[in-house]
Amino acid sequence: MTVRLETARGLATITLARPSAHNALDVATKSAFIDAVTAAAEHPDVRAVLLTAEGKNFCVGQDLGEHVAALEDDPATAMDTVGEHYNPLIRALKSLEVPVVVAIPGACVGAGLGIALAGDIRVAGTRTTFSTAFTGIALASDSGLSYALVEALGSSRAAGLMLLGDRIAADQALDWGLVHRVVADAEVRTAATDLATQLAAGPTLAYRQVKSLIAASAAGLSDALDRELAAQRRMGRTADHAAAVKAFLAKEKPVFTGS
């Protein structure tokens, strides 16, 4: 089981449980994640949600080993996972009417960053790092990052993160407003659980209204997800992407030809 859902005292805890792969997202994990979020949304007693992860890292994004196999099978359909899994997952997370707290240990990369930004309150450790990583393998972006980063940081900082693939540390993420709290690494899950437990015992109807008002101001997310899907399908068929993914897995530096 690569995703666990546990509910107790109004709190639904969703845990990415693939630590040996740094919680990389293969099809089974993405499907289980969507199911867990859907189940939490439908549970009548859930008043808050906690997203967390086992191991040293929150999520390093797409499982590239599985992605290489999909590219070799058919480059034209390799990026279908964006429409089939990532977009439904982000929409499901953003549609949750209750507060969502995200505990972020270690690396938070690519789609993992998109997932984290789909929550409401983020707690990071002192050694947590964030990066988009997509252009490093000749892709654009998905998981709502083209929307969420611009909304959170403005277009200039978002462009730097997405074009250059800069990795930012927890203190910078706090300064920029990507996270709400930074604690000692060993305390990330505890601090996030405490916040989520507090929210689960709070004025749920008021929280729902707050989230509804925020969502109304973020109406452009759905269009952004559709645009990302089209872009990733185009990028997934490029020679640069195929070569870069293989170089990444071989721990070699990719050489881009612009094709």
Helices (H) and strands (E) in the chain, counts: 12, 9
Residues with Cβ within 8 Å of residue 240, at least 6 apart in sequence: 138, 254, 256, 257, 258, 259
Check: CB of residue 185 under 8 Å from CB of residue 104.
no
CA distance 232 to 150: 18
pLDDT of residue 112: 98
Give the N- to C-terminal CA distance of the chain in Å, as an integer.
39
pLDDT of residue 22: 98
Mean pLDDT over 180-193 rounds to 98
Amino acid identity of residue 234, one-letter, is R
pLDDT band at residue 103 under the 50/70/90 scheme = very high
pLDDT tens profile 19-57: 999 999 999 999 999 999 999 999 999 999 999 999 999
Tokens 């994990």 belong to 29
> Whole-prediction pTM value?
0.90
Check: CB of residue 54 under 8 Å from CB of residue 16.
yes
Per-position b or e across 76-98, b if 16+ CB within 10 A of its CB: eebbebbbbbbbbbbbbbbebbb
CA distance 146 to 132: 10
pLDDT of residue 218: 66
CA distance 31 to 25: 9
